[in-house]
């Protein structure tokens, strides 16, 4: 489904000089970010540093005050990108608050983007595609007919993932996907993301607070602090970065526990 205008040789995401503000409050100033194709990038930063705002800007949901954003080689701020829905068709999103439609079944939820972008597809084919994505997300067939309120928190995350995968996106955005899951459920979800990334060649923009997730599946980590991306590098490098938040985060008690867990596995 990937359109030919999307240039495979370009980075998956390229942001330059981004500025986002709400009234007097400046959230991002002169922010740069590069995300390579096929990688899982973990995006971390204190609460309120603007991780979700950054994601929404990249998705074109809120135009920034300044800066350039390219997604899959396309200028995300151009009229062409907005009018064609090109980026929307090639990205899947799992929002921080889940946001499944509560009155629709899981299968109907997953069908929504398919109906929106491929209205010419017959109903039964849309249903089959939705069920495929539901199975890919690790849910049983029976989950398709259930309402979100009839699922556990972990299953709801998987249902939201199935919807994010509906259009076979090249690029997947996940905002705190394991928040609220127990450690075992979170680890299983991480594994699922890694498996899907490998199998489908996805690029994954993963916002997380979860240190275990960073150590388990991320190729690189981008740290948001001081209104910009402070460092964007493999974990081993980021851990050494000389900044108070980074040091506290990676070398505080929870950081040490996550590193110890990784060492035990290896």
Ligand X SMILES: Nc1ncnc2c1ncn2[C@@H]1O[C@H](COP(=O)(O)OP(=O)(O)OP(=O)(O)O)[C@@H](O)[C@H]1O
Contact between 28 and ligand X per CB under 6 A: no
Q: Does 180 bind ligand X (CB under 6 A)?
A: no
22 scored as a contact of ligand X (CB under 6 A): yes
Sheet of 25-35: strand order equals 25-35, 13-22, 66-71, 74-75
- Could you say which of 52, 78, 247, 259 contacts ligand X (CB under 6 A)? 52
- CB 48, min distance to ligand X, A: 4
Region of 11-19, 46-54, 72-80, 240-248 interacting with ligand X (CB under 6 A):
46-54
Does residue 247 belong to the site contacting ligand X (CB under 6 A)? no
Which of 52/65 has CB closer to ligand X?
52
Tell me which of 15, 18, 35, 51 binds ligand X, using CB under 6 A.
Answer: 51
State which of residues 52, 65, 84, 247 lies at the interface with Mg ion (CB under 5 A). Answer: 52
Least distance (Å) between residue 206 CB and ligand X = 13
Other C-beta atoms closer than 10 Å to the C-beta of 204 total 24
Binding-site size, Mg ion (CB under 5 A): 3
Residue 43 binds ligand X (CB under 6 A): no
Tell me how far apart the alpha carbons of residues 71 and 15 are, in angstroms, rounded to a whole number: 9
- Alpha-helix runs per DSSP H in the chain: 51-58, 79-84, 86-89, 106-117, 123-136, 153-164, 183-200, 211-217, 235-239, 244-251, 253-265
DSSP state of 148: G
Other CB atoms within 10 Å distance of the CB of residue 124: 8
Q: Which is nearer to ligand X, 50 or 255 (CB)?
A: 50
Render the burial of 49-79: b for 16+ CB within 10 Å, e for the rest.
bbbbbbbbbbbbeeebeebebbbbebebbee
Binding site for Mg ion (CB under 5 A): 51-52, 96
Positions touching ligand X (CB under 6 A) are 22, 27, 45, 47-53, 96
């Amino acid at each position: 489904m990937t359109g030919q205008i999307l240039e495979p040789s370009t980075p998956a995401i390229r942001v330059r000089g981004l500025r986002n503000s709400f009234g007097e409050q400046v959230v991002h100033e002169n922010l740069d970010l590069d995300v390579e194709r096929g990688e899982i990038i973990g995006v971390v930063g204190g609460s309120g540093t603007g991780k979700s705002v950054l994601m929404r800007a990249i998705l074109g949901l809120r135009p920034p005050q300044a800066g350039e954003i390219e997604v899959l080689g396309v200028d995300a701020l151009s009229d062409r990108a907005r009018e064609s829905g090109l980026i929307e068709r090639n990205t899947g999103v799992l929002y921080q608050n889940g946001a499944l439609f509560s009155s629709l079944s899981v299968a109907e939820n997953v069908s929504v983007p398919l109906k929106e972008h491929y209205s010419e597809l017959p109903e039964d084919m849309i249903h089959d595609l939705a069920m495929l994505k539901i199975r890919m997300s690790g849910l049983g067939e029976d989950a398709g007919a259930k309402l979100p309120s009839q699922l556990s928190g972990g299953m709801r995350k998987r249902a939201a993932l199935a919807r994010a995968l509906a259009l076979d996106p090249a690029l997947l955005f996940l905002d705190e996907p394991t928040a609220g899951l127990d450690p075992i459920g979170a680890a299983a979800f991480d594994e699922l993301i890694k498996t899907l990334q490998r199998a489908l060649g996805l690029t994954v923009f993963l916002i997380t607070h979860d240190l275990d997730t960073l150590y388990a599946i991320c190729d690189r980590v981008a740290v948001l602090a001081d209104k910009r991306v402070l460092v964007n590098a493999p974990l081993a490098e980021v851990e050494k970065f000389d900044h108070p938040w980074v040091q506290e985060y990676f070398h505080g008690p929870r950081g040490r526990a996550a590193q110890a867990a990784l060492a035990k596995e290896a």
